[in-house]
Structure 1
């Protein structure tokens, strides 16, 4: 049991619940290395949506997947690629973490609808429509939002057809609304926080959170401290505050975890993320990057289960939040 758990009165029952639960992190953009996989196992993750593309185009993204496949093969004692809900259940049963390949931008699709199916066959199951700025699909959250393009509508239809989940976390409000209405299957904010607790361009308003839930969508709540009310002083309990706030808006069946873990990366990585296309104008400046006390690393994930219980949530609710809701929603989109 971690030092944080001990200092906050952690219990064997909380750890037992965590170990027995399906635990899914809806967004991890940590540095790819075996140490990350070891920490995922320490944290008891059944699966994680791991970013393999942000600003990259088609070829660079394929190269990322090749490297990721090699690393996963070398760490097959710890992880496996998860393409289906059955793969996630099998990973849990085998004591491994299922790696879901995800994009944080549709750039890798370029202007080719057919690339959606190509990348699906390579294991890509979740794709964010835009990353902060304009692309061929629509508009990100740091620009004047022109909505979903005609090409974007075709893209949503193709993602629906082949079973790729539409993610709207970094997407503009109007584009998000139009994707939600256009999609025939659930879409998600894989990693967001409520603007009701902290006003930030990346956070979602109460109305936006209700809207996605009312249309069958899903919300993964992030713990990225620039988006939390307490900022860099946040603890795991402040993260739970955001989770509870969102749950009160969307209901206990439409909520899960999307930490946005950036574990292992240095300042150069954040510079790349926060400039348009990785090199152009600066979009934002996060300042100091530190995860909430008690869940600084993926290995401390059990502390989140304990903190949810400490907040007064039932074991049934905790199981839903920690992963059962994600699993059901992904199965709905992926088709098995």
Structure 2
């Protein structure tokens, strides 16, 4: 076994955002990729009931594919997943639309296993504003939601959130918040990418940055390689340091064009917000099963093993512990 393969096998490997088509083939590919834990999206545009239905479906996955996956509700579950040779699943939201206007739903979803929730997905909701329209900031109700998420131990995610709303969530939260999946504006101009100042601000306030490899946001688009992804990770580490950065690939494995049409329209059906064009993951990490290639690429970039282990998972565990367990 190569040094990189051994390091990958020995390390905690966490993907901070996957929104793939959930089925056994995907869970098998997670095992092939050596994933210890992944934040798996169960709500984007769905309201309360449809989101509950998605969680019911995932509970079925836990029963039917228990040889491959386990639920993760605390950081101890991450270590248990590693010990058992399974992939731990964090149920996550990419929009708090499912909370509707009921503050009590935050605790309900926490009890159903939701550990991370993004405050808005591209557009305005009752809490704040997404990155594709004029940003009105965090609402009064939004302040209540942030406080309740802090209380129950649910992480605030700001990846698709507007800059003003993001800043106000960062300041309002008493626990660490995250960009679970973002890229630097300094490498490519895009509404979803974060400026150097935004990256510094979240890091300076104890927050976390997960780096995505979603091709439309990378410098070389669909011609990107795993080296382009490493460049983006390295760029952010050089700005904020190595202790608050990790991986959040945004794998969309198995989805068809209809799914992307749903994602790129407001509320899934209304006005078009953006066009992704062709989506091809960077060469070298096209699928979840190729995750070990990232460990190799980071080592090839000259990083010490200690830094690789932090970025591949240790930093995520420490940050999640501060939100969930403290």
Fold shared by both chains (TM-score > 0.5): yes
Establish whether residue 191 from structure 1 lines up as the match of residue 178 from structure 2.
no
Shift of 1:224: 0.2
Q: Give the aligned partner of residue 162 of structure 2.
A: 172
SS in 1 for 2:8: helix
Q: Give the aligned partner of residue 312 of structure 1.
A: 302
Structure 1 CA distance for aligned equivalents of residues 208 and 31 of structure 2: 25
Shift of 1:72: 1.9
Q: Give the aligned partner of residue 89 of structure 2.
A: 99
Give the alignment partner of residue 247 of structure 2, picking from 237, 243, 257. 257
Structure 1 CA distance for aligned equivalents of residues 62 and 298 of structure 2: 31
Q: Give the aligned partner of residue 328 of structure 1.
A: 318
Q: Give the aligned partner of residue 143 of structure 2.
A: 153
Shift of 1:329: 0.3
Q: Give the aligned partner of residue 50 of structure 2.
A: 60
Q: In the TM superposition, what whole-angstrom CA distance separates every residue of 1:21-56 from its partner, at most 9, and x where no partner exists?
A: 000000000001011100000000000000000000
SS in 2 for 1:52: strand
Shift of 1:121: 0.5
Question: How many residue pairs are counted as aligned between the two chains?
Answer: 326
Structure 2 CA distance for aligned equivalents of residues 236 and 143 of structure 1: 31
Structure-to-structure mapping, 1:1-336, within 5 angstroms: 12-335=2-325
Q: In the TM superposition, what whole-angstrom CA distance separates every residue of 1:80-107 from its partner, at most 9, and x where no partner exists?
A: 0000000000000110000000000000
Structure 1 CA distance for aligned equivalents of residues 232 and 6 of structure 2: 24
Shift of 1:301: 0.1
SS in 2 for 1:312: coil
Structure 1 CA distance for aligned equivalents of residues 72 and 25 of structure 2: 19
Shift of 1:182: 0.2
SS in 2 for 1:204: coil
Shift of 1:153: 0.2
Unaligned runs of 5+ in 1: 1-10
Structure 1 CA distance for aligned equivalents of residues 25 and 324 of structure 2: 29
Cα root mean square deviation, aligned? 0.6
Shift of 1:18: 0.3
Structure 2 CA distance for aligned equivalents of residues 250 and 27 of structure 1: 20
Shift of 1:73: 1.1
Structure 1 CA distance for aligned equivalents of residues 194 and 249 of structure 2: 15
Q: Give the aligned partner of residue 7 of structure 1.
A: none
SS in 2 for 1:127: strand
Q: Give the aligned partner of residue 8 of structure 1.
A: none
